[in-house]
Amino acid sequence: MRSTSLTCKATNCVHNKNCDCMAGVINVKGIHAKNPSETTCNTFVVEGGYSFDNLSSMHNSEKTVPKAIKCSAGNCKYNEDGKCYADNVEIMAANACCGTFEEML
């Protein structure tokens, strides 16, 4: 099996543990996104504060892997039917956007 991983630089998110995401499953939004900055991890919960997505659990479960991402960025070449097929995904610090997004040409 290929090795895949998700790293996250949004270290102010409650699910972030040393740049691993411990939410288990995440939702990435970006239905009209044409570049990485137009996507965002909607499961982001700022430490001690509000969440973007109140459907998500505040509790950590297990390390999130790319295949556990639900993603609405249909213009991304790694997206197929709302699932992410990138081997390695990097969520960025700025707005918890997906730095791995690549526009399908």
28 binds ligand SF4 (CB under 6 A): yes
Q: How far is the CB of 39 from ligand SF4 (least distance, A)?
A: 5
29 binds ligand SF4 (CB under 6 A): no
Alpha-carbon distance values, 62 to 70, 72, 77, 91 (Å): 16, 22, 26, 17
78 binds ligand SF4 (CB under 6 A): yes
- Phi, psi angle pair for 66, to nearest 5°: -50, -35
Laid out side by side, the sheet with 40-41 consists of 40-41, 26-29, 69-71, 83-84, 79-80
- Chain residues binding ligand SF4 by CB under 6 A are 8, 10, 13, 15-16, 21, 23, 26, 28, 30, 39, 41, 43-44, 64, 69, 71, 73, 76, 78-79, 84, 86, 89, 91, 96, 98, 100-101
